[in-house]
């Protein structure tokens, strides 16, 4: 495992590719640029793959038809990301994509690609109202942590990072970095995810990396508006920045946001920090599981 890692978080502008080849060339250039700057871990945003729906103009403006079109391109998306990870020697979190399961349910899948050809995936657990009510995308049912040559990585996609128990389970299983690909259609949505990311960094004494989509795509009912800034967050403790922000981009601009992080700091924060929220977590339940702890409602009215 490498202690020091250069992380590249994408502020990825949603475009309108006219072919699979043009999309492949765009993503390759992004990976090439990050690798040229020494990045070892590259993080693309949630639903970045949905820009591929633009290829078929006859269905691009139809929410469900565009979903099906991108699902059909899944093998090509996978193959391209795997090839880029291998050729550039990087650990690559591809932009998440809708994935059709054997039971015909559709999930929002984030896939992590290794330079040696291995890969693993994490399905988004918590669905937003848009995903639940308009898009009919289902939540995943399993959490994973990935042991890689760079360190232990977890993935909490967008809305997931607003819920503390998901990242807590990943941190308890050994994750040193939580990757948070995001896609938000308002500044309020972006800040909800960012605040969640910073809270998870504080609670778990861990690194959290947010990578958002940016830009306007009026042709797409799924990606019409995209707001956000990429960031790398830590607990504000010891030699960390006072605000817990290691790196932050300029909202709305397409760019890589880079940060060099020392993963050994996770152990130092947890063992010698001014506060120890990771170790003290169980005390908020009086030493018991929250589900087993009786709660009294005290009438004061």
Mean pLDDT by 10 residues, the chain (301 residues): 86 98 98 98 98 95 96 98 98 97 94 96 96 96 94 97 96 96 98 98 98 97 97 96 98 97 96 96 70 57 60
| Domain containing residue 267 | 4-292
Q: Which of 135, 161, 154 is nearest to 70 (CA)?
A: 135
Q: How far apart are the first and last CA of the chain?
A: 57
Q: Which of 136, 138, 126 is nearest to 180 (CA)?
A: 126
User: What does DSSP assign to residue 149?
Assistant: S
Catalytic residue among 51, 124, 180, 183: 124
Q: Rounded CA gap, 242 and 296, in Å?
A: 38
Q: Rounded CA gap, 63 and 227, in Å?
A: 20
Q: Is residue 11 part of a domain?
A: yes
User: What does DSSP assign to residue 103?
Assistant: T
Q: Is residue 298 part of a domain?
A: no
Q: Is residue 299 part of a domain?
A: no
**How many domains would you assign to the chain?**
1
Say what the pLDDT of residue 285 is.
Answer: 72
Which burial class, exposed, middle or buried, applies to 126 when counting CB atoms under 10 A from its CB (0-12, 13-18, 19+)? middle
| CATH number for position 173 | 3.60.110.10
* Alpha helices, DSSP H, located in the chain: 20-36, 63-72, 74-88, 129, 164-172, 187-204, 265-272, 277-280
Q: Is residue 50 part of a domain?
A: yes
Report the Cα 99 to chain-centroid distance in Å: 16
Say what the pLDDT of residue 286 is.
Answer: 64
User: Please, which residues bridge with residue 7 across strands?
Assistant: 41, 259
Say what the pLDDT of residue 278 is.
Answer: 96
Give the DSSP letter string of 208-234.
EEEEEEEEE-TT-SSSSEE----EEE-
* Known catalytic residue at 286: no
Q: Is residue 142 part of a domain?
A: yes
Q: Rounded CA gap, 63 and 144, in Å?
A: 30
Q: Is residue 136 part of a domain?
A: yes
User: Please, which residues bridge with residue 225 across strands?
Assistant: 216
* Known catalytic residue at 158: yes
Q: Is residue 100 part of a domain?
A: yes
Catalytic residue among 51, 131, 158, 183: 158
Q: Is residue 148 part of a domain?
A: yes
* Known catalytic residue at 283: no
Extract the tokens encoding 295.
């709660």
Say what the pLDDT of residue 83 is.
Answer: 98
């Amino acid at each position: 495992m490498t202690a020091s890692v250069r992380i590249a978080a994408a502020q990825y502008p949603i475009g309108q590719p006219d072919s699979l080849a043009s999309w492949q060339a765009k993503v390759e250039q992004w990976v090439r640029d990050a690798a040229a700057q020494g990045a070892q871990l590259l993080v693309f945003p949630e639903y970045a793959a949905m820009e591929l729906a633009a290829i078929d103009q006859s269905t691009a403006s139809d929410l469900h038809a565009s979903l099906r079109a991108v699902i059909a391109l899944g093998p090509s998306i996978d193959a391209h990301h795997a090839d880029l990870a291998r050729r550039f020697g990087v650990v690559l979190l591809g932009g998440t994509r809708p994935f059709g399961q054997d039971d015909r349910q559709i999930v929002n899948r984030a896939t992590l690609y290794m330079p040696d050809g291995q890969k693993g995936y994490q399905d988004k657990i918590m669905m937003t109202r848009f995903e639940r009510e308009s898009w009919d995308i289902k939540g995943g049912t399993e959490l994973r942590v990935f042991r890689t040559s760079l360190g232990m990585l977890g993935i909490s996609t967008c809305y997931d990072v607003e819920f503390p128990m998901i990242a807590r389970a990943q941190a308890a299983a050994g994750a040193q970095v939580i990757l948070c690909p995001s896609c938000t259609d308002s500044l309020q949505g972006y800040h909800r995810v960012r605040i969640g990311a910073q809270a998870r960094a504080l609670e778990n004494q861990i690194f959290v990396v947010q990578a958002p989509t940016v830009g306007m795509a009026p042709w797409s009912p799924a990606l019409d508006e995209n707001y956000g800034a990429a960031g790398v967050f830590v607990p504000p403790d010891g030699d960390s920045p006072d605000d817990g922000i290691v790196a932050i981009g300029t909202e709305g601009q397409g760019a890589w946001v880079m940060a060099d992080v020392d993963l050994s700091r996770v152990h130092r924060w947890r063992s010698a920090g001014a506060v120890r929220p990771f170790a003290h977590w169980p005390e908020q339940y009086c030493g018991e599981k929250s589900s087993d702890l009786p709660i009294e409602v005290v009438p004061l009215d």
